[in-house]
Amino acid sequence: MKKEFAVIGLGRFGGSICRELSREGMEVLALDLDEDKVNEYRDIASHAVIADSTDENVLKELGFRNIDHVIVAIGDNIQASMLTTLILKEMGIKMITVKAQNDYHEKILNKIGADQVVHPERDMGKRIAHNIISNNILDYIELSDDHSVVEVKAGSKMGGQTLVDLDIRAEYGCNVVAIKRDKDVIVSPMATEEIKESDVLIVIGADKDISRFEKNLVLED
């Protein structure tokens, strides 16, 4: 089953995550108090609603209990960010990622139960979106507007197969430039190299090709 995401706060950071998750084919509920922002994302997200995330009853009515992962990307209102995080925690949301304004805000978010705290100044929305799609996507670095490097952990779909078997270059147009295995790094691995589960592959390619590679070989069913 597809993971369901919700993004609360559609400023530059929240909007970036919403766009990237939607581009990757995820179910996304987008929420903001600003009508103009919500209208901007009506055709991007699966659902876009004007709502107050500090109202627990509203979140329940919107079906937040069924959401797998909520990203709280509220702008300058630290109080609303903290209250929203508390409500989501009490509702039993499995995974809550929250944007922190500063180190003080981060400390409080960690104390009240945020699973992941991010600083948008340091972490790009696109990179974070890929990281939250799957635990197997460890890092995502943009090289240009349409080419990136992704670091992925090999799961059951790749474990026990060689690079020849997987034929990543022909099938997806991506190149495996290195494999990290425990403390060793295999640079420019041979086509006959067998991938072990928990190996970390460093893959380079066009964003659209990396997206297909992730969907077919990285995301676990």
pLDDT digits (tens, 9 = 90+) for 134-168: 788 888 877 777 888 899 999 999 999 999 999 99
pLDDT of residue 170: 92
pLDDT digits (tens, 9 = 90+) for 38-77: 999 999 999 999 999 999 999 999 999 999 999 999 978 8
Nearest to 127 by CA among 195, 210, 217: 210
Q: Are 78 and 98 in contact (CB under 8 A)?
A: no
pLDDT digits (tens, 9 = 90+) for 104-119: 889 999 998 899 999 8
pLDDT of residue 65: 93
Question: How far apart are alpha carbons 28 and 218 in whole angstroms?
Answer: 20
Q: Is the pLDDT of residue 1 over 80?
A: no
Question: How far apart are alpha carbons 39 and 56 in whole angstroms?
Answer: 23
Q: Is the pLDDT of residue 123 over 90?
A: no
- Structural domains for the chain: 2-117 (3.40.50.720), 121-216 (3.30.70.1450)
**What is the value of pTM for the model shown?**
0.69
Question: Can you tell me whether residue 14 is helix, strand or coil?
Answer: helix
Question: How far apart are alpha carbons 172 and 182 in whole angstroms?
Answer: 26
Nearest to 186 by CA among 200, 170, 173: 200
Which residues neighbour 141 within 8 Å (Cβ) at sequence distance 6 or greater? 127, 148, 149, 150
